[in-house]
Structure 1
Amino acid sequence: IKEIMAFVRSYVVPEGFPDSVTPSYVPYMTWRALKHFFGGAMGVFTTRTLLSSVGVSQSKVTPGAIAINWILKDGAGRVGKMLFARQGKKFDNDLKQLRFSSDLLLEIGAGIELATAAFPQFFLPMACVANVVKNVAAVTSTSTRTPIYKAYARGENIGDVTAKGESVGNIADLLGTGLSIFITKRNPSLVTSFALLSCGYLLSSYHEVRSVVLNTLNRARFTVAVDSFIKTGYVPSLKEGNSQETIFIHPWRHEPVSIGSRFGEAFQEPVSFVATRPLFEDERYMVTYNPTKDKVYALLKDHAKPDDILKAAFHAHVLLHFINVSHERKRMSSNRSDHYGNPHPRNMDFLAHIAESCKIVSSSYGTFRKKAKEQVTLLLFVIS
């Protein structure tokens, strides 16, 4: 029995486990295996649907036509993958958010493939769209996989961790495929089966991404750290910061803070720049608020260093906090003011808030940076 267990372990866990990986490796791999199980099961249904739609089950369709349609479908997917690959620089920023988004895209692509059963006459365009979506998801998933595995590796064993992680995924995928083949023989409801498997896949994907603990600050985790520090004076631990990070971000979501902005975006009019500039004479950055766009902007001056960028981001969130607090206090009065046609409170004189934020940042940034560095490796996020 020991020999059998050792043989199995050699395929599913890194050498030296559990000391060779971080503690969060087990929950991550558990959810990852479950996700691949559901993914493998869904693959049987979508492949069967595609084959039926393309005409394999219809004797009137020639094998040559079937092959051409299938090749065009795959070709469209490869073109989509190639075009999306130029966005690779963004994969290093919101890694967990992109990873979950890729699984959502994969489900959308699978759903389109399933819909070809209802519209077989539109097989080629629908299959091409589905394959483009799924290949874009594949690029995102592949690009974010290595950094995640790297976060679990202790020492120089990233290759071993990656290999065993992929092995677990493949085993789970095969198990899911086998189960799905057995189920399809009973001719279950295609829509119901797909809906259940899809829910299981997305739920597993969410918990898989949620369990990832990265030791760097990206935009989302930086926001969590600053908000906690402003409100409580406490910088969350590595695990706490990751657990509080927002995983799903709507594409239309309004981002209240922009770092590395342009002058025209940040200042509504030149007089605002003239009034704000004296407050930042000793800094390599400027922070301001544009009420028309309801956004705080941080502008970087020439020769700004990494710590200046970090400080500018910290200052921007402090200013946003003051503006939000002021907005909450004046919400009731703003409703009455709006009724009588007076300006909305977001168009308030925000220079006082900028001046107040400068004082707070001057006295507290050093403390924040020290506490944050004790918890994580400070990594500058991509400037927007």
Structure 2
Amino acid sequence: MADGDAGCRLPSFASSSSLIPPLMMLEEWRGSNPAKLSKTATLRANSSTLTILRSGNRWSEIWGKILEAFVPEGFPTSVTPDYVPFQVWDSLQGLSTYIRSMLSTQALLSAIGVGEKSATVIGATFQWFLRDFTGMLGGILFTFYQGSNLDSNAKMWRLVADFMNDLGMLMDLISPLFPSALFIIVCLGSLSRSFTGVASGATRAALTQHFSLQNNAADISAKEGSQETVATMIGMAIGMLLAHITRGHPFAIWVSFLFLTLFHMYGE
């Protein structure tokens, strides 16, 4: 264009596609409530390209998925502040209980004659049946007499449940020492654990309602079940190892059992 000619100059665009504004952009955000959101991905699209940008660390995403199986949705804002300390100590108590149960069960099986040539299958089965029958009957009677009182003081009844569970396992552990009173000892141990099952289950419902802040008691209860399952598997594995190591060493068995019992009581 000659000098002095009127006109306009058209702007020049760079050939790089990065300067072309996107025709569409989508963002993916993840979270349980508006107050706790994190961007996980951004999608940019124009006439020629489609780009997906991932946000965050892959290991963080994997850990978040695993955590979802064990904590309620919206954690930690969906539960009370005392939820985490309670669950930590409850899991540790459960761990000690399952380890001790392996030791006490080993002693009980030895008491009823498992592994001895003189023992019969029908005899061991009958004794185990009477043990379970006594526990079931005891649970029904305990519910009949105390079921309506379990809501009044959940903490006290939970303490009673743990004490009765400790007493039941102690009965199983001493059963080989008193073969003449085996039936009575085994039934008393089963009776103690039946009280534990009723009282612990009832008080757990009250505690779950206490922890719930967003009408999520069912979710809290389900996730507590997952936590207990993991504690059970770990406790059983450690208990089997401990039972194998201490086999034939009564002193080591009693020291281990008493130490774990003291830890369990301290966790209260």
Computed over aligned residues only, the root mean square deviation of the Cα atoms, in angstroms, reads 1.1
Asked whether 1:197 is paired with 2:263, we answer: no
Contact 1:14–1:20 (CA under 8 A) maintained in structure 2: yes
- Match of 1:55, SS? coil
Letter in 1 for 2:180: Q
Hey, what does 2:85 align to over in structure 1?
27
Query: In 2, are the aligned partners of 1:106 and 1:133 still within 8 Å (CA)?
Result: yes
1:99 to 155, 158, 167: 158
Task: Give aligned-pair identity as a percent.
Answer: 27
Q: Does 1:163 align with 2:222?
A: yes
Q: How many residues align?
A: 205
Equivalent residues of 1:38, 1:173 under 8 A apart: no
- Higher relative CO (Cα under 8 Å, sequence separation at least 6) belongs to 2
Alignment-derived partner of residue 138 in structure 2: 80
Q: Which structure has the highest strand share of the two?
A: 2
Structure 1, unaligned runs of 5 or more: 207-384
Question: What does residue range 106-125 of structure 1 map to in structure 2 within 5 Å?
Answer: 106-125=165-184
Could you list the runs of 4 or more consecutive aligned residues of structure 1 that deviate by over 4 angstroms after TM superposition? none
Task: Give how far 1:6 is off.
Answer: 2.0
C-alpha distance in 2 between matches for 1:89 and 1:142: 13
- SS, match of residue 116 in structure 1: helix
Partner of 2:243: 184
**Structure 2 CA distance for aligned equivalents of residues 177 and 201 of structure 1:** 16
Comparing 153-162 and 168-177, the one that deviates more: 168-177
> Aligned partners of 1:170, 1:202: CA distance in 2, in Å?
21
Contact conserved, 1:36 with 1:170, CA < 8 A, in 2?
no
Give the conservation status (yes or no) of the 8 Å contact 1:37–1:176: yes
Answer whether contact 2:112 2:127 (CA < 8 A) is retained.
Answer: yes
Q: How much has 1:11 moved relative to structure 2?
A: 1.7
Structure 1 partner of 2:117: 59
In structure 1, the residue corresponding to 2:114 is in which secondary structure? coil
Compare 165-174 and 42-51 and name the one that shifted more: 165-174
Instruction: For residue 102 of structure 1, report the CA deviation from its aligned partner.
Output: 0.9
Instruction: Give the CA deviation at 1:55.
Output: 0.7
**Residue number among 34, 49, 64 corresponding to 1:6 in the alignment:** 64
For the Cα contact (< 8 Å) 2:112–2:124, is it kept in 1?
yes
Where do 1:206-217 residues align within 5 Å?
Answer: 206=268
Q: Which residue matches 1:217?
A: none
Would you tell me which structure has more helix in proportion to its own residues? 1
**Does the aligned pair in 2 maintain the 1:113–1:126 contact within 8 Å?**
yes
Partner of residue 26, structure 2: none
1:1-384 alignment, distance < 5 Å: 1-86=59-144, 87-187=146-246, 189-204=252-267, 206=268
User: Deviations along 1:170-222, whole A, 9 cap, x unmatched?
Assistant: 21122122112112222251111110111111111x1xxxxxxxxxxxxxxxx
Q: Per the alignment, in what secondary structure is the counterpart of residue 12 of structure 1?
A: coil
In structure 2, how many angstroms separate the alpha carbons of the residues matched to 1:29 and 1:127? 31
What is the distance in 1 between the residues matched to 2:258 and 2:176? 15
2:106–2:243 Cα contact (<8 Å) kept: no
How far has the Cα of 1:167 moved from its partner?
1.4
CA distance in 1, matches of 2:178, 2:115: 15
The answer to whether the 8 Å contact 1:55/1:61 transfers is yes
User: Could you tell me whether the CA contact under 8 Å between 2:154 and 2:203 is conserved in 1?
Assistant: yes
Highest CA radius of gyration, 1 or 2? 2
